[in-house]
Amino acid sequence: MLNQSVSPKASHPTPVGHVFPPIFSSWPATSHHRPAAIPDRAALEQMLDDAEAPVEWSEEDIVLLHWRLLEEVSHLADPATPLEEKFDTLRWVFSESEKDGLPFSFVSCLRVVGCSPLSPIAYCGRVDAEEIRGHIRHSLKAWFNASLQRYPSWVRDAVVHNPDWIEARLSKNPQWINEQIKRMSVQGDLFA
């Protein structure tokens, strides 16, 4: 099992400038470690259908789960990623600092993936989470502008001027924007 008791402030983090830029390009750096084969769909469904059987997680599985969570960050740059998914990822990345030490927090995932010999990327050691957050923060405007170009102007205006309101609607119903666009295309804008 992973040792989660190691304090994230125990050692000096590695600067990310030259070590961790792959976070923005699907993390192409690879390690020499080869993860175990992923079970086929039928085997996976059989495991999930058996509610009585306990799920056995190896340390490698846990490291790969941390890696999979970090891969979500790369979807922020994809204009086709739904806004609700982007908001969800950003809530996770920029969560309160009190949560940084919790398992599967953004900081914990960076630590596990950067330091584990079972990681699917080459060893890079501790990574400065605030520097990664800074890179993400710096790119957000361009990423959201590219995403918003796919939507009608009223959606773009609402996201820019009332992001909390949009985020609240999407958290209740991830299809809310699509439903509103469809409704307006059928019925038209009553105020136009």
* Residues 82-104: tens digit of each pLDDT: 888 999 999 999 999 999 999 99
Query: What is the 3-state secondary structure of 128-188?
Result: CHHHHHHHHHHHHHHHHHHHHCCCCHHHHHHHHHCHHHHHHHHHHCCCHHHHHHHHHHHHC
Confidence of residue 163 (pLDDT cuts 50, 70, 90): confident
CB under 8 A, 24+ apart: contacts of 140-147: 140/76, 140/90, 143/76, 143/77, 143/79, 143/86, 144/86, 146/79, 147/79, 147/81, 147/83, 147/86
The answer to which of 54-58, 101-105, 131-135 has the lowest mean pLDDT is 54-58
Q: Is the predicted pLDDT of residue 137 greater than 90, yes or no?
A: yes
Alpha-carbon distance values, 184 to 84, 155, 162, 172, 192 (Å): 20, 11, 19, 20, 11
Rounded Cα–Cα distance for residues 164 and 147 (Å): 17
Q: Which of 32, 16, 34 is nearest to 114 (CA)?
A: 16
Q: Which of 21, 44, 35, 43 is nearest to 66 (CA)?
A: 35
What is the pTM assigned to this prediction? 0.68
Do the beta carbons of residue 23 and residue 72 sit within 8 Å?
no
Backbone dihedral angles phi then psi of residue 14, each to the nearest 5 degrees: -75, 135
Rounded Cα–Cα distance for residues 183 and 192 (Å): 15
Domain ranges for the chain, please list them.
20-25+55-149, 151-192
Do the beta carbons of residue 84 and residue 171 sit within 8 Å?
yes
In DSSP terms, which residues pair with 69 in a beta bridge?
A: none
Residues 6+ apart with CB under 8 A from 36: 58, 60
Which range of 75-79, 80-84, 120-124, 171-175 scores highest in mean pLDDT? It is: 75-79
